[in-house]
Amino acid sequence: MSVHAPLRCLLALSISFALPAVAQVLPAKAAPAASPVARLPLVVVHKSPTCGCCTAWVAHMRKAGFPVDVREAADVTPVKRRVGVPAGKESCHTAMVGGYFVEGHVPAADVKRLLAEKPDARGVAVPGMPMGSPGMEVPGGQMQPYAVELVKSDGTTEVFSRHGADRPH
């Protein structure tokens, strides 16, 4: 056995006791940043306090991952006019998300597409209250064919998407 062997053992023993103390003093190496989770923007919904289909649409949007703030008013017509919903394109509730209006029973997938594509538009609308649209579901899954309309910045409209018995929403 070498003379230096006991010194090596003592040195190794000292280091093994000192390392935990040193680790507490030295800053920990930063873990790699987790990839940011894309967070959906807040949807602000203006609706009547007694409208059940509006409440069901809010639940549809929340289920799709949107945070939702509900603002109830007896008359949401002033909101529709302020945000630029064209006459004849109204429904029971009006929402705002990402700088766009969402009028009526627009599927969450179409709202996500609108936010992803960012067209030069005021918003999207499902005029009326088509049976089978989100919030207007009926037993048996019946669906009245309907179109989601894109309301362009100049006020004109075009079909943004179509939904019906053969097209899922």
pLDDT tens digits, residue range 135-164? 999 999 889 999 999 999 999 999 999 998
- Integer-rounded Cα Rg, in Å, for the chain is 28
Order of strands, sheet of 68-72, starting from the edge strand that comes earlier in the sequence:
68-72, 43-47, 94-97, 100-103, 121-125, 146-152, 157-163
In a domain? residue 123: yes
In a domain? residue 75: yes
pLDDT tens digits, residue range 116-135? 999 999 999 999 999 999 99
In a domain? residue 9: no
Nearest to 115 by CA among 135, 89, 96: 96
Which residue would you say has higher pLDDT here, 82 or 30? 82
CB atoms < 10 A from the CB of 60, how many? 21
Q: Is the pLDDT of residue 109 over 50?
A: yes
Q: Which domain holds residue 90?
A: 43-163
In a domain? residue 131: yes
pTM of the model: 0.76
In a domain? residue 22: no
What's the domain count of the chain?
A: 1
In a domain? residue 16: no
In a domain? residue 136: yes
